[in-house]
Amino acid sequence: MDKSRKPATIAAHAAGATDLQSGGVVPALQPSTTYLRDEDYALVRPDNIYSRADSDNLRQAEEVLRLLEGAEETLLFPSGMAAIAAVFRTLSNGDTAIVQSGIYWGTTAWIRDFCARREINLIEADADALLATCETQHASLVFIETPSNPWLKTLDIRAIADSTAAKLMVDATAATPILTRGLDFGADIVMHSATKGINGHSDVLAGVLSTCARDARIWEMIRADRKMAGAILGPFEAWLLTRAMRTLPLRVERMSQNAQALAEHLLAQDGVDDVFYPGLPSHPGFDVASRQMQGGFGSLMSVIVKGRKQDALRVVGKLQLFLRATSLGGVESLVEHRHTIEPHTGIPENLIRVSVGIEDIGDLIADWDQALG
């Protein structure tokens, strides 16, 4: 497919993934785990040996993401954490990793445990101190998340890339490749939990890594680790992901519009102390987000309601359209009281994390108004 085509065209045509055998305008689902050889034991399809490494459905989904990300190569994994783990397993004992603090707790917990077991020097730095840390510490890997979950802190990818000789890995899950292409700003590897906005229908668990291939050795290690460890996304999940991505630009556009309107509305309400959303001029990362995010600021925000834990739980309990569930980036709006989920992280007990969907914005605003009232 022509690389000059825009994301909406790439997604709608699934990067040209049709079914030539049947003439279908959508790709076929091929669930086979193994592939035929002829009488001379030569492969019928040289690129298909065994599904742990070979899958047409997997390659089709990866190609859509590669083009959307502007990458040299893209690899899919069975979860976002599996993708993160594949990168960290390239580190050797004694290496140093700099990791942004205050990011998704599952990432932090796994990295801490992994680095302790592998005797890797782990330096955690808050978003405000991360640039200085990169400038003063010699590291092999820097890992950031922007916008971060659930604080919505926005980091300058280009500034961090220029401040360190380490490989820079960016978790851009909250932005999706539609709003931010991290490789364009100097990242070496971009990661997404494709479970979230990329799939957008709350029915696929997947992770993805994309690279500009500045270091082929590191990427080859990641590719080999995925194959040998069996961290492969199944064909049905890859097919569903390709199907979902056909509407990715539309969904991101609508969710960003809804989130912007809701954030502005909630910030003006008496029952709300603050709203963390990179699209608000009052947000500390607004200037960076305005340069780094094109076409909107995403679906994720955090709302600080006035009062304490019981006040936040009352609001969450009264919401009717915002489903009480853990995740983000789906077509349905979700709400979560983070302190109930992870009180040990220091999250404020009156913080409500919100993932805004594609519903009518008037209905979403009315739902919050009645809950706050």
Catalytic annotation present for 35: no
Number of domains in the chain: 2
Of 54, 95, 171, 188, the active-site residue reads: 171
Q: Do both 234 and 259 map to the same domain?
A: no
Catalytic annotation present for 126: no
Q: What is the CATH number of the domain that holds 356?
A: 3.90.1150.10
Q: Can you tell me the distance from the alpha carbon of 124 to that of 130, in angstroms, rounded to the nearest whole number?
A: 8
pLDDT of residue 148: 97
Q: What is the CATH number of the domain that holds 167?
A: 3.40.640.10
pLDDT of residue 3: 64
From 245, 280, 298, the end of a domain falls on 245
Q: Can you tell me the distance from the alpha carbon of 212 to that of 214, in angstroms, rounded to the nearest whole number?
A: 6
Query: Does 205 have pLDDT greater than 60?
Result: yes
What average pLDDT does the chain have?
A: 96
Of 181, 196, 226, 243, the active-site residue reads: 196
DSSP assignment string, 81-93: HHHHHHHHTTPPT
Averaged pLDDT for residues 257-282: 98
Residue 104 tokens, joined: 């998704």
Per residue in 150-201, pLDDT (tens digit) is 999 999 999 999 999 999 999 999 999 999 999 999 999 999 999 999 999 9
Q: Is residue 2 part of a domain?
A: no
Q: Do both 136 and 165 map to the same domain?
A: yes
Averaged pLDDT for residues 19-39: 92
Name the helix (H) or strand (E) containing 340: helix 338-341
Q: Do both 126 and 237 map to the same domain?
A: yes
Q: Do both 269 and 241 map to the same domain?
A: no
Phi, psi (rounded to 5 degrees) for 291 = -80, -30
Provide the β-strand partners of residue 303: 275, 352
Q: Do both 270 and 308 map to the same domain?
A: yes
Per residue in 284-306, pLDDT (tens digit) is 999 999 999 999 999 999 999 99
pLDDT band at residue 17 using 50, 70 and 90 as cut-offs: confident
From 213, 245, 277, the end of a domain falls on 245
From 211, 245, 279, the end of a domain falls on 245
Q: Is residue 312 part of a domain?
A: yes
Query: Does 210 have pLDDT greater than 80?
Result: yes
pLDDT of residue 31: 94
pLDDT band at residue 21 using 50, 70 and 90 as cut-offs: confident
pLDDT of residue 213: 75
Of 56, 104, 156, 226, the active-site residue reads: 104
Catalytic annotation present for 196: yes
Of 5, 52, 118, 318, the active-site residue reads: 52
Q: Do both 180 and 126 map to the same domain?
A: yes
pLDDT band at residue 2 using 50, 70 and 90 as cut-offs: low
Q: Do both 41 and 179 map to the same domain?
A: yes
What pTM does this model have? 0.95
DSSP state of 344: G
Q: Is residue 67 part of a domain?
A: yes
Q: Can you tell me the distance from the alpha carbon of 367 to that of 81, in angstroms, rounded to the nearest whole number?
A: 33
Closest by Cα among 121, 168, 128, 163 to 144: 168
Q: How far apart are the first and last CA of the chain?
A: 52
pLDDT band at residue 4 using 50, 70 and 90 as cut-offs: confident
In this structure, the dihedral spanned by the alpha carbons of residues 155, 157, 162 and 167, taken in order and rounded to 10 degrees, is 110
pLDDT of residue 214: 65
Q: Do both 101 and 191 map to the same domain?
A: yes
pLDDT of residue 234: 95
Q: Do both 280 and 348 map to the same domain?
A: yes
pLDDT band at residue 349 using 50, 70 and 90 as cut-offs: very high
Query: Does 1 have pLDDT greater than 60?
Result: no
Q: Is residue 1 part of a domain?
A: no
| C-alpha radius of gyration, the chain, whole number | 21
Proportion of the chain above pLDDT 70, given as a percent? 99
Contact 123, 96 (CB under 8 A): yes
Range of the domain at 268: 248-372
Averaged pLDDT for residues 260-284: 97
Phi, psi (rounded to 5 degrees) for 49 = -115, -55
Residue 128 tokens, joined: 């405000």
Q: Do both 234 and 294 map to the same domain?
A: no
Catalytic annotation present for 112: no
Q: Can you tell me the distance from the alpha carbon of 47 to that of 98, in angstroms, rounded to the nearest whole number?
A: 38
Query: Does 215 have pLDDT greater than 80?
Result: no
Q: Do both 39 and 169 map to the same domain?
A: yes
